[in-house]
Amino acid sequence: MIYTIMDTAYIKSLPFLIDGLKITLSITVIGLFLGMIIGSLAGLGKLSKNKFIRGFWSVYVEVVRGTPILAQALFLYYGVSEDLIGLNISSFTAGVIAIAVNAGAYIAEIVRGAVYSIDKGQHEAGRSMGLTEKQTMRYIIWPQAFKRMIPPLGNQFIISLKDTSVFSVIVVHDVVFMAKEYYNTTFEIFETLVMVCLLYLCITIPTALYLNRLERKLDV
C-alpha cells in the first residue's frame, strides 16, 4: 500500500518540484528583504517636504504599480542587462531584482500609510522633548508605524511568492519551471500541476493563518 502511494505520479514529481520551491523561496525572501529597504526609502520619501524627493519616489511607485511584474522581469533580464548595459545577469538575479523593485513600490505605500496613521500629537510630543525631526521619526514614530506594517507586509510576502511563478519565462528554475520540465518529459500534466498548487498552499495558508493570529495579538 505504501509503495503504491509513493509510486503515484503525484509523489514522483515532488523531488523536482521541491528543488524549484527552494529557488522560489530564495527569490521571495531575498527580494522582499531588498524590497523592504527600497519601500522604506520610497515611503518616507513620499512624505518628504522636498518636492524633488517626493516627486521622484512618487513616479517610481506609480510606474512600477502601473506595469505588470512579467513585463518588468523581461525588461530587466533582456532589455536592461543585454541591450542597455550589455551585461548578462543570471535569471536568478533578475528575478530577485524584479521582486525587490515591484514589492518595494507596494511596500512604499504600506510604509507611507503606517507613518501617516500615527497621530500628529506623537510628532509634537517628540519635538517638545527636544528631539530632532529625524530622532522623533526613529524613536517614536517608526516603532509604532512598524507594528502596523507587519500584517500587510506578511500579505506582501504571499503576493510576491505567487508573483515568482511568472519568472519561468526568463528561465528561473523555480517550482513552475521545474513543473514544466517534468511534465514535458512524463506528460503527467494534471498530477504535476496539482502538486504545484499544493506546494504553494502549504506555504500561503499557514502564513495567512499566522498573520491573522498576529494581527489579533498586536491589535492593529
**Greater pLDDT, 212 or 32:** 32
- 113 within 8 A of 46, measured Cβ to Cβ: no
Confidence of residue 5 (pLDDT cuts 50, 70, 90): very low
**Greater pLDDT, 106 or 220:** 106
Euclidean distance between CA atoms 124 and 133, whole angstroms? 10
Average pLDDT over residues 96-107: 95
**Greater pLDDT, 11 or 26:** 26
**Across the chain, which distance is largest between two alpha carbons, in Å?**
73
**Greater pLDDT, 61 or 213:** 61
Confidence of residue 38 (pLDDT cuts 50, 70, 90): very high
Tens-place pLDDT, residues 76-94: 888 776 666 667 788 899 9
**Greater pLDDT, 220 or 62:** 62
pLDDT given at position 120: 77
Please, what are the domains in the chain?
Answer: 2-218 (1.10.3720.10)
Tens-place pLDDT, residues 108-152: 999 998 888 887 777 777 777 777 777 788 778 888 888 888 888
- 11 within 8 A of 83, measured Cβ to Cβ: no
Q: Which residue has the cell 510576502?
A: 157
Smallest Cα–Cα separation from 47: which of 131, 137, 135, 122? 137
Confidence of residue 219 (pLDDT cuts 50, 70, 90): low
pLDDT given at position 63: 95
C-alpha cell at 109: 505605500
pLDDT given at position 1: 41
Confidence of residue 64 (pLDDT cuts 50, 70, 90): very high
